[in-house]
């Protein structure tokens, strides 16, 4: 279910997006079909864009469908479809006799990626899971199976597999490809110089300035290293610092799953990601 919440004043969002939709999203950007592919952070951005468009023209006819891992909000009147395809690793995860295997050099479930005007990929947070949250037992590269592997090494192999697929199968003249950068988590107050604070709970102000004192994410450099080697590099939506500064932007204890310091409130931070995305799309 998509749950849309209006911001308190809505000025930037409503004025900006009324122009976007009324004059035709497709006419302005050339994009009829936009698909977010990734984990729940991709869903966060997809829901944001869906809500922004819906609140701009609430009386417009629209359809919402969910088939398996694919969710689709369409505005037939404007010829626009906003889709989210859940796929947190991008490469193949299969269940075999020995257990759950991440095939780092294999992509087979790509059919729904094709024929889309704009693709926004995302993959990172699932790679950092451990314990009960880890959804795989083994890694595989070629015929070799590994019980253990350095996480960022596995991540780089997988992203390289994805990058090769994009270069080999996506026509950049027909489809624009983006990679959603790594979104920050605020689960340790020491990262923003409040060592006595354990989580994002109770945070009501962003960090001032343009510097984040806390940890950097190893995946940031991996993403940049892979993208720069692509024949037709995907456009990096580099949202990491933007999200690091917004320790106040999480659902915290008001979300659906306990204390949530990794996803973002809507309306909220992902709206900015979509403002950035839209302005990039305007530059055809």
C-beta separation of 180 from 239 below 8 A = yes
Residue 4 has a pLDDT of 47
Judge if the upstream peptide bond of residue 164 is cis by omega within 30 degrees of 0: no
Annotated catalytic residue: which of 55, 62, 186, 263?
Answer: 263
Residue 257 has a pLDDT of 73
* Crossing angle for the helix pair 218-228 and 151-169, to the nearest 10 degrees: 30
Residue 266: burial class (beta carbons within 10 Å; 0-12, 13-18, 19+): buried
Taking 90 as the threshold, does the pLDDT of residue 23 lie above it? no
108 is catalytic: no
Residue 202 has a pLDDT of 94
Query: For the segment 44-77, what is each residue's pLDDT rounded down to a tens digit?
Result: 999 999 988 887 777 888 899 999 999 999 988 8
Count other Cβ atoms within 10 Å, centred on residue 170: 19
Taking 80 as the threshold, does the pLDDT of residue 24 lie above it? no
Annotated catalytic residue: which of 71, 260, 262, 271?
Answer: 260
Annotated catalytic residue: which of 7, 40, 137, 167?
Answer: 40
263 is catalytic: yes
In a 13 Å sphere around the CA of 110, the CA atoms on its Cβ side amount to: 18
Instruction: Lowest mean pLDDT of 60-64, 89-93, 204-208, 259-263, name the range.
Output: 60-64
Q: Give the model's confidence band at 25: pLDDT under 50 very low, under 70 low, under 90 confident, else very high.
A: low
Residue 83: burial class (beta carbons within 10 Å; 0-12, 13-18, 19+): buried
40 is catalytic: yes
Distance of CA 201 to the CA centre of its chain: 23
Distance separating alpha carbons of residues 259 and 250, to the nearest angstrom = 9
Containing 243, the helix (H) or strand (E) segment is: helix 240-244
C-beta separation of 267 from 7 below 8 A = yes
Q: Give the model's confidence band at 123: pLDDT under 50 very low, under 70 low, under 90 confident, else very high.
A: very high
Containing 222, the helix (H) or strand (E) segment is: helix 218-228
Taking 90 as the threshold, does the pLDDT of residue 102 lie above it? yes
Query: For the segment 254-267, what is each residue's pLDDT rounded down to a tens digit?
Result: 987 789 999 999 99
Residue 215 has a pLDDT of 84
Q: What does R_g of the chain's alpha carbons equal in angstroms? A: 19
In a 13 Å sphere around the CA of 218, the CA atoms on its Cβ side amount to: 10
Residue 160 has a pLDDT of 98
Q: What is the mean pLDDT of residues 129-143?
A: 96
In angstroms, the Cα distances linking 6 to 48, 57, 169, 176, 186 are 11, 13, 39, 29, 24
Q: Give the model's confidence band at 2: pLDDT under 50 very low, under 70 low, under 90 confident, else very high.
A: very low
Taking 60 as the threshold, does the pLDDT of residue 7 lie above it? no
Q: What is the mean pLDDT of residues 137-163?
A: 97
Q: Give the model's confidence band at 201: pLDDT under 50 very low, under 70 low, under 90 confident, else very high.
A: very high
284 or 274, higher pLDDT: 274
Average pLDDT in the chain: 89
């Amino acid at each position: 279910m998509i749950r849309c919440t209006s911001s308190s004043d809505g000025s930037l969002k409503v004025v900006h997006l009324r122009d976007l939709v009324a004059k035709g999203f497709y006419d302005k950007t050339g994009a009829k079909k936009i698909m977010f592919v990734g984990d729940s952070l991709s869903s966060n951005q997809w829901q944001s864009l869906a809500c922004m468009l819906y609140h701009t023209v609430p009386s417009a006819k629209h359809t919402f469908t969910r088939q398996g891992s694919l969710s689709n909000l369409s505005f037939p009147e404007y010829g626009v479809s906003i889709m989210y395809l859940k796929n947190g690793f991008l490469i193949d995860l299969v269940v075999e006799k020995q257990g759950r295997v991440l095939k780092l050099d294999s992509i087979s479930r790509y059919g729904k990626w094709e024929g889309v005007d704009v693709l926004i990929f995302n993959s990172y947070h699932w790679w950092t899971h451990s314990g009960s949250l880890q959804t795989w037992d083994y890694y595989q590269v070629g015929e070799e199976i590994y019980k253990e592997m350095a996480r960022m090494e596995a991540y780089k192999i997988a992203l390289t597999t994805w990058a090769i697929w994009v270069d080999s199968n996506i026509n950049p003249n027909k489809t624009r490809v983006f990679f959603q950068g790594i979104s920050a988590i605020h689960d340790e107050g020491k990262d923003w110089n409040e060592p006595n604070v354990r989580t994002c709970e109770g945070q009501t102000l962003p960090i001032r300035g343009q510097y984040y004192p806390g940890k950097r994410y190893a995946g940031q450099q991996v993403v940049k290293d892979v993208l720069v080697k692509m024949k037709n590099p995907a456009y990096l939506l580099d949202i990491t610092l933007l999200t690091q500064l917004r320790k106040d932007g999480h659902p915290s204890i008001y979300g659906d799953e306990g204390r949530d310091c990794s996803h973002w409130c809507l309306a909220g931070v992902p709206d900015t990601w979509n403002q950035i995305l839209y302005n990039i799309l305007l530059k055809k």
